[in-house]
Chain A
Amino acid sequence: MAPFVPILIMMGLAFAFVVLVTIVTFILGPKKPTPQKNAPYECGISEITPPQRRFPIKYLVTGMLFIIFDIEAASLVPMAVLMKRLGVTGLIELVTFIAILLVAFLYVWRKGAFTWE
């Protein structure tokens, strides 16, 4: 029981530390902004086009879909490992899970999220 009490103290310390560091850097940090300093580079010529170009939206859509099916795969692994012990009930649940995902998959497909152009 007792070992947990220090945690609370440490939580307090952790919070105090973060606050302290934030305040200290705010106070101690020199702040003499000049136009030169605010520029992306203090030396050399300034860039003509923004250095980081935006990704097209379609990358993001693909990324979102990837995350969903990635997690789906992760969810299947524990069930697959235990499949023998879960028996028929487990199989039915697994099929239900995949069926629900299949509806989502069908939906995404029909809405054209898989077409690249």
Chain B
Amino acid sequence: MAFTYAISGGDWARIAPELALLVAALLVMLVDALIPARLRGALVIIGVMGVLAALAGVIMLYASSGSPSAFGGMVTSDPLALFATLVILAATGLSLLLSPGYIERQGTRQQGEFYALVMLAATGMVLMAASTNLMMIFLGLELLSLPLYVLCAFAPGQQRAQESGMKYFLLSSFASGFLLYGMALIYGATGATNLGGINHFVATHAMSATAGFGPILLGGMALLAVGLAFKVSAIPFHAWTPDVYQGALTPVTALMSVGTKMAAFVALIRVFDVALAPVRADWQGIMWALAILTMVGGNILAATQTNVKRLLAYSSIAHAGYLLIGIALGTQAGIAALLYYMAAYAVMNVGAFGVVLALERVAGLGTNLDDYRGLASRRPALAAALAVFLFALAGIPGTAGFVAKYAIFAAAVTGGHAELTIIGVVASMIGFYYYLRVIWAMYFVPAPDMPAAEAANANPHLSLAGLNSAVVTKLAASGTPLAFSAGLALALALIGTLGLGIFPAPLISLARQAAGLP
């Protein structure tokens, strides 16, 4: 067998963002092992610097010329990968900034592990977005999932976090099994794991559901779709999402909701919209149905929630539905709209979770809708910020969310699927209801008479968290001050949400470039 092994320095430069994040993760671990425990809070600086270095790498790759493919077609640094990397870096950076103060408040002593795992998860997300081979997609997916399993179970002594980690771990590994079997069948049907090779085979061979390798390919596509649909939490594979999002530490939730989605959507684009484009007729129906189910179901389920973190989890499911429209269309305009939507979603969703985090007390307390009553008079700045993020998530004009929704619905109309637009708009109407419900509680409902501490004492989880009521009373009375870095993150997210809404043009052109449009 011919054996060539040619890896040049240029190949390594093509994965500069991944390398920067990985080196930052290793540095965090190394420094954590060497410094005394009281200094570990400073490790976040290494993480943020890693994100900035990765950002520099992305800018360098945008400026570079030549073939974007590297390592024998395993990974690429094409505009699609770079755009996704930008979104993931934004989510990672904001989540890192939100963490200091918060994770100490949650009683976490292993801060080194926390930051190292966040950086590793980010590496996996970026790697998955850059993959052009089924192997690398799988590897990237696992590299992002494994740290997240641990991060979800991270909060010490908290039953909810452990439950959340266990559930995520079992269900996600289960989904990985399906994904892997799908990959095996696709490999068996086409004889390639490289997406280019798969595309070549599918384009040059007659494939139908009844002839040739068609049945195997069809089975493979279905299983792969199940695996990835689980990762983007599309209904009916969403059951894990609310529990995991609610139980995990809030910065982790913010990172997961954006980063995992971005990486998995890029994989969906590369596998279905690009490599399997010749057999679009076979998979379009699945994506179409998933999009509708997820949009409608996510919004309806969100409307009944009384916990804000859980509400945002269901809202994140609903947004996955809008994003799936972009996949189902299979057009370049649809992909461009999806990418812009994802960027907008990154800032507004991380921002919303950031406010939730600022208001959250120990052991997930203070995230109920009742705790938000009268917030506008107690914490006016936070209430206003949350209102902006929720308006953006609902899609009010002037915010990033509106432009994003408009772009994706317009792409659906021009792509010949007006029914998706109609259903999407109706689903968004339901969305207005629950976002406005939170805003209503903050601005127009007076604060509850019962002191928060009493409500806290009634909560059974508290005893498990090993906290005495005096601490809780103190925390509830003083309210938690906003750490400087968290304030910075919220400000950045706010600028992003409004900026992308008022001046969307530069990012839209970047997204169009990533989708291969002029």
Contacts and interface: CB of A to CB of B under 8 A. Distances in A.
B424 to A, nearest CB: 35
A103 B30 contact: yes
Contacts of A5: 215
B30 A90 contact: no
Contacts of A104: 29
Contacts, number: 38
Interface residues of B, number: 18
Contacts of A90: 5
A13 to B, nearest CB: 15
B216 interface: yes
B35 to A, nearest CB: 10
Contacts of B34: 110
B5 A106 contact: no
A111 interface: yes
Contacts of B26: 100, 103
Interface string B6-45: 0100000000000000100010011011100000000000
Interface string A81-96: 0000111011001000
B29 A89 contact: no
Given A85-B3, A86-B5, A4 B30 contact: no
Q: How large is the interface on A (under 10, 10 to 19, 20 to 34, 35 or more residues)?
A: 20 to 34
Contact of B7 (A7, A89, A109, A111): A89
Interface string B219-262: 10000000000000000000000000000000000000000000
B33 A111 contact: yes
B32 A107 contact: yes
Nearest to A100: B26
A20 B515 CA distance: 48
Given A85-B5, A89-B5, A103 B211 contact: no
Given A85-B5, A89-B7, A103-B26, A1 B32 contact: no
**Interface-centre pick from A4, A85, A86, A109 (highest chain B CB count, 10 A):** A4
Contacts of A4: 188-189, 213, 215-216
B49 to A, nearest CB: 17
Nearest to B3: A85
A77 interface: no
A73 interface: no
A100 B23 CA distance: 9
Contact of B33 (A7, A86, A87, A110): A110
Nearest to A99: B26
Contacts of B32: 107
B5 A7 contact: no
B448 interface: no
A93 B26 CA distance: 16
Nearest to A110: B33
Contact of A106 (B7, B30, B211, B213): B30
A103 B25 CA distance: 10
Contacts of A100: 22, 26
B5 A8 contact: no
B26 to A, nearest CB: 5
A7 B216 contact: yes
A96 to B, nearest CB: 10
A95 to B, nearest CB: 14
Given A1-B213, A85-B5, A89-B7, A8 B219 contact: yes
Contacts of A109: 33
B177 interface: no
19 contacts: A1-B212, A4-B188, A8-B215, A8-B219, A86-B5, A87-B5, A89-B5, A90-B5, A93-B7, A100-B22, A103-B26, A103-B29, A106-B30, A106-B33, A107-B30, A107-B32, A107-B33, A109-B33, A110-B34
10 A-B pairs with the lowest CB-CB distances in the bound complex, closest first? A110-B33, A1-B212, A107-B29, A103-B26, A107-B33, A8-B215, A89-B7, A4-B216, A103-B30, A103-B29
Interface of A: 1, 4-5, 7-8, 11, 85-87, 89-90, 93, 100, 103-104, 106-107, 109-111
Interface of B: 3, 5, 7, 22, 26, 29-30, 32-34, 188-189, 211-213, 215-216, 219
Given A89-B5, A107-B29, 5 more contacts: A8-B216, A8-B219, A103-B29, A104-B29, A107-B32
